[in-house]
Amino acid sequence: MKKLSLLLVLAGTPAMAAEGPFFSLYNTDFVVLLGFIAFLAVLAYFKVPQKVLGLLDNRAVTIRNDLAEARALREEAQTILASYERKQKEVQEQAARIVTNARDEALRAAEQAKEDLRVSIARRLQAAEDQIASAEAAAVAAVRNEAVNVAVAVAGDVIARKLSAEDASRLIDDSIRQVETRLH
């Protein structure tokens, strides 16, 4: 118990520092209270609390506006980012389509070139075969003509040696009749 009373005495000592009656100018607590009240009155007279509250309200409005603007900017940035990401994806898809189309077009062009080459080779082979056949037919015709000429010449020689004038005249007459019957 002794400790508790000592503690109370030590705790109450500063509060009991003032001497005499409380409402006296000799009492420091009263003078401090009057100074504090005068300070509050000066603050109230110059409307400092309203100005401080106004400044705080203005600051709160400014902060609120800044936050709203920041949110709007953030949303706009997200919209722009989404737009650019969408455009990037579209460009990538378009590039992939272009590459695929180019690859397909190159394959088609290669196949077409192969087909054209095959047709060209076949056409040239056919032209060469036609030229060979034409040359062969010309050679056969030339050989026939030469054989006919040789046969006619040989026959003419043989006939000239063995044929009499009377037989020659009869053969000429027969040939003329045959020509007439064939022409009419």
Residue pLDDT, tens place only, 139-169: 888 887 777 777 777 777 776 777 677 777 8
What is the residue type of 73?
L
Domain of 164?
47-183
**CA–CA distance, 3 with 24 (Å, rounded to integer):** 35
pLDDT at 135: 87
Over residues 120-124, mean pLDDT: 92
Residue 175 in any domain: the answer is yes
pLDDT at 163: 67
**How many domains are there within the chain?**
1
pLDDT at 42: 94
The pair of structure tokens assigned to 153 is 């010449």
Phi, psi of 13 (to 5 degrees): -60, -45
54 CB burial (10 A radius; 0-12, 13-18, 19+): exposed
Over residues 4-25, mean pLDDT: 59
Q: Which long-range contacts (CB under 8 A, 24 or more apart) does 105-114 make?
A: none
pLDDT at 12: 44
| Contact predicate 31/25, CB 8 Å | yes
* pLDDT at 96 exceeding the cut of 70: yes
Residue 60 in any domain: the answer is yes
Residue 55 in any domain: the answer is yes
Residue 40 in any domain: the answer is no
163 CB burial (10 A radius; 0-12, 13-18, 19+): middle
The pair of structure tokens assigned to 139 is 């050679």
**CA–CA distance, 183 with 92 (Å, rounded to integer):** 85
Residue 114 in any domain: the answer is yes
pLDDT band per the 50, 70, 90 thresholds, residue 13? very low
pLDDT band per the 50, 70, 90 thresholds, residue 16? low
Is the pTM value of this prediction over 0.75? Answer: no
Residue 120 in any domain: the answer is yes
Residue 17 in any domain: the answer is no
Share of the chain above pLDDT 70, in %: 87
Secondary structure (3-state) at 164: coil
* pLDDT at 64 exceeding the cut of 70: yes
